[in-house]
C-alpha cells in the first residue's frame, strides 16, 4: 500500500527482457537504497514491484509479462526517469490517498496548459475507466496522488503544483505522453458491490435463523 507521495525520481539503468518478463535495475541515489530489503514493495511509476536485490545506489525488480502489457513499463528503456515510493508503514501519515500500485489503465496526455500560477494536464481515459473518476475525487498518475480538477466525458484535468512538477516526472509530461492510471480504491469496490448486489445490501442483511445461523436476541 502506498500514498501517492513520490519520494524520489530514479533512472532505469538496465532492462533485460526474457520469456518470463523483464528484470529492471533502477538507480536512485537519494532513495536510501541501502535500507531496502529483498521482498520489499516499491512503486515504480505507480506500479507495485518487489525488490529482488540491491547494490550500491541501485535496486533490481522483476516485471512479469502481465505488468509489461498493461503499464508503461512495457515500453520503458534504459535512461527513463521513474517516480519511486516505498510502501506505507503502519503509523505513517496518509497525506495523499490509498494507492495500491495496481494500474487500472494507461492514458495519454491530451493537453498541457500553463498559465500564471497554474499548470494543468488534460488526460484522455479509456471509456471503461471513465466512470471510476469523479470531479474532486482522487486519482494516481504515474503513482502521484492528485485531485481531479475538472471532468468532461472520458477526459479529466489535474492541476500540478510547483512541488509536484519538480519532485516527480509529471513535470516532463507533454502532449502524447502515456501515463499509468490508478483509480480510487473505493470506486473499484463500489462498482464491484453494485455489479453483484445491485444495491440490495444482501450481503449486509442480518442472517436468517432458517439457515442455521441463529437468531438475534434482544439485549445482545
Cα Dmax for the chain: 67
Tell which wins on pLDDT, 192 or 40. 40
> Residue 216 — pLDDT band, cuts 50, 70, 90?
very low
Average the pLDDT over 116-125 and give the result: 91
Domains and CATH numbers, the chain: 8-86 (2.40.30.20), 105-197 (2.40.30.20)
Tell me phi and psi for residue 169, to 5 degrees.
-85, 5
Please give the pLDDT value at position 143. Answer: 96
Tell which wins on pLDDT, 89 or 38. 38
Question: Which tens digits make up the pLDDT trace of 132-173?
Answer: 899 999 999 999 999 999 999 889 999 999 999 999 999 999
In the chain, helix, strand, coil percent, each to 5? 20, 40, 40
Average pLDDT, the chain: 87
pLDDT of residue 212 exceeding 50: no
Amino acid at each position: 500500500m502506498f500514498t501517492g507521495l513520490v519520494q524520489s525520481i530514479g533512472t532505469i539503468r538496465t532492462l533485460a527482457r526474457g520469456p518470463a518478463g523483464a528484470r529492471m535495475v533502477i538507480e536512485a541515489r537519494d532513495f536510501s537504497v541501502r535500507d531496502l530489503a529483498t521482498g520489499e514493495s516499491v512503486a515504480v511509476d505507480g506500479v507495485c514491484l518487489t525488490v529482488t536485490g540491491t547494490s550500491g545506489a541501485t535496486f533490481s525488480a522483476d516485471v512479469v509479462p502481465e505488468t509489461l502489457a498493461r503499464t508503461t513499463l512495457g515500453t520503458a528503456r534504459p535512461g527513463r526517469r521513474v517516480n519511486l515510493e516505498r510502501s506505507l508503514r503502519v503509523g505513517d501519515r496518509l497525506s495523499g490517498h490509498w494507492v495500491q500500485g495496481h494500474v487500472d489503465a494507461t492514458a495519454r496526455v491530451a493537453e498541457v496548459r500553463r498559465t500564471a500560477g497554474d499548470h494543468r494536464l488534460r488526460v484522455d481515459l479509456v471509456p471503461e475507466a471513465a466512470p471510476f473518476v469523479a470531479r474532486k475525487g482522487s486519482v494516481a498518475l504515474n503513482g502521484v496522488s492528485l485531485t481531479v480538477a475538472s471532468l468532461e466525458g472520458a477526459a479529466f484535468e489535474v492541476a500540478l503544483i510547483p512541488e509536484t512538477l519538480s519532485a516527480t516526472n509529471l513535470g516532463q509530461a507533454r502532449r502524447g505522453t502515456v501515463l499509468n492510471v490508478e483509480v480510487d480504491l473505493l470506486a473499484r469496490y463500489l462498482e464491484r458491490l453494485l455489479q453483484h448486489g445491485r444495491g440490495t445490501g444482501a450481503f449486509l442483511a442480518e442472517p436468517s435463523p432458517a439457515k442455521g445461523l441463529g437468531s438475534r436476541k434482544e439485549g445482545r
